[in-house]
Structures are given as structure tokens and as C-alpha cells.
Amino acid sequence: MPITMLSSLVAGDFAAWTKRLRNNAVLYAVMAILGLTGWALLMVALIAYLIPLFGLMQSGLIVAAALFGIAGLIYAVSRYREHRRRKLAEEDKARTALYASAAALALPTIVRSRPLLLLAVAAGGVALAGRALSNSTQGSGDPGAG
């Protein structure tokens, strides 16, 4: 009996999840079509504005060059952010390895001394609690930002 209730609960949640996913996909598709249509009309209007100033061919080339420049800038920023994220991940990995080796070196001394052992257990508990709290309050933002 509990297994059938559990399976119906999972099936109901799955059906709601797929319905929500389908609705979101339709909304995003409509938004994408409207956004691309608006972008195309904006480019046509920009070229129409520039034609009396520079001529037809030059207006198209100016708009195309501006778009390529913006795309190149976006690409450069994304490459920089990825490089920065990898660098921070490597530094974090090195720091973790340093802490682990320092703890391994200090372990024999700590184990022999009861007050140091109690202090180490308390400090470790505080460090774990702090890490758990910082992970739960960070949210789902971009870890590379900041």
C-alpha cells in the first residue's frame, strides 16, 4: 500500500513537472520569436536611418561591423570569466591540498595531547558549520562573479 501511494505521488509530481516544463518551453519560444523579430526591425530601422548619411552599402557595413564588434566583446568577456573561474578553482584546490598536508603533519602532535585534541575537534566542528552555512547562503548565482 505505501509503495503505491509513493509511486502515485512521484507520478503526480512528474506530470506537474513536465506540464510546467512544456509551458515554459512555449513561453520561451514565443519570447525568442518576438525578441528576434524586434531585433531585426531595429536593425532595419538603424540601416534606414544611416542610409541618408552614408549610403546603402556603407550603412549595412557599419551596422555589420558594430554587431561583429559587440559579438567579439562578448566573446572576450566570456573567455576572461572562464579563465578567472579556472584560476580560482586551481587556487582553491592548491589551498585545500596545503591545509590537508598541514593537518596531516600536525595530526601526531594533536593526537598525543588531549587538550589539543579537544581543541582540534571543536575547531573542526566550527569550520564545518561555517562552511555549511556559507554554502547554503550563497544561492544559485554565478560562482565566478565577484
Prediction pTM value: 0.52
3-state secondary structure of 141: coil
Nearest to 56 by CA among 66, 68, 44: 44
Name the phi and psi angles at 139, rounded to 5: 80, -160
Q: What's the pLDDT tens digit per position in 47-105?
A: 999 999 999 999 999 999 999 999 999 999 999 999 999 999 999 888 888 888 887 78
Q: What is the 3-state secondary structure (H, E, C) of 117-132?
A: HHHHHHHHHHHHHHHH
DSSP H helix total and E strand total for the chain: 3, 0
3-state secondary structure of 55: coil
Name the one residue in this structure whose C-alpha cell is 519560444.
Answer: 29
